[in-house]
Amino acid sequence: MCRWLAYSGSAIPLEELLYKPDHSLIDQSLHAQLAGQTTNGDGFGVGWYGTGADTPAIFRSLVPAWNDRNLREIASYVESPLFLAHVRASTGAAVQQTNCHPFRYGRWLWVHNGLVRDFLRVKRELALAVDESLYACIEGSTDSELLFYLALTLGLEDDPPSAVERMVSLVEDTGHRHAIEAPLQMTIATSDGESVWAFRYSSEERSQSLYYSSDVRTLRRLYPERALLHEVSDETRMIVSEPLVDLAGAWKEVPESSYCLVREGVDELHKFRSR
């Protein structure tokens, strides 16, 4: 199982979420608690948007995140209003930078936790479904990157929820044709630099965990002593595969087969279905 987080709100140093919380993403990668039996030592990545830049920057590394000195420098130096981070536990594909999330295409970033079941049996057929002009952009060998390029093929840049639904449908149809019972397990976050969409879905309807942070105003009332909560804007939101801190009332579960949309002034939760 991989782990990821998405942050949208006031610009903060990356280290505020990657290192400082009790159960930060880096700490999770060392000590699995809620979800997991395995260690996330198979690659780390973070992608962040600047203020005004067209393309997000990404840093991806194979050194276990907890001892990656370059990551620590970057996380302390970079401030960003919107970033996605990911720690990987390989489900088979090689440990290499091009298999680390987030994946990037133009302004878009993509992180995934989960898997395409029996991926090697359906990989070729799914790869053929990628638009010809996009095919050559695929650099790695993971199911996660292929899901991204399928979603791009199916209109991610125009209507993300609809494109992801069609991507899921295509993967499930392909899997079923190969007699794979529950072809897909996923939580996914994607962003264009302004909005974040986060999806929770699995063919078997037992999706891996996903949480979003409560309204910052509520959190300030509950935890007046937490300085960071007073520094960030009311609009600030986090979406995480596993809670970063143990604060009662701080995290709400994204329900099964749902997605959230987070953007300045917008905070929505919708049903998600394969179509």
The nearest distance, CB 3 to its own copies, in angstroms, is: 14
Q: Are 61 and 45 in contact (CB under 8 A)?
A: yes
Find the catalytic residue in 2, 100, 137, 260.
2
CA–CA separation, 201 and 195 (whole Å): 20
Phi then psi for residue 270, to 5 deg, are -135, 160
The nearest distance, CB 28 to its own copies, in angstroms, is: 11
By beta-carbon proximity to its own copies, the closer residue of 54 and 225 is 54
DSSP 94-117: --SGGGSSPEEETTEEEEEEEEET
The nearest distance, CB 136 to its own copies, in angstroms, is: 4
What is the residue whose two structure tokens read 């057929």? 125
Q: In angstroms, how far apart are the furthest CA atoms of the chain?
A: 55
4-12, 95-103, 177-185, 259-267 -> range binding its own copies (CB under 8 A): 95-103
CA–CA separation, 122 and 178 (whole Å): 8
Q: Is residue 33 near its own copies by the rule CB under 8 A?
A: no
The residue from 22, 33, 106, 139 that contacts its own copies (CB under 8 A) is 139
Per-residue mark of binding to its own copies, 37-66 (x: CB under 8 A) = xxx-xx-------x--x---xxxxxxxx-x
Distances (CA, A) of 214 to 94, 143, 199, 211, 218: 37, 31, 17, 9, 7
The residue from 10, 98, 162, 257 that contacts its own copies (CB under 8 A) is 98
Chain residues that interact with its own copies, rule: CB under 8 A? 30-31, 37-39, 41-42, 50, 53, 57-64, 66-67, 69-70, 73-74, 76-78, 90, 93-98, 120-121, 123-124, 127-128, 132, 135-136, 138-141
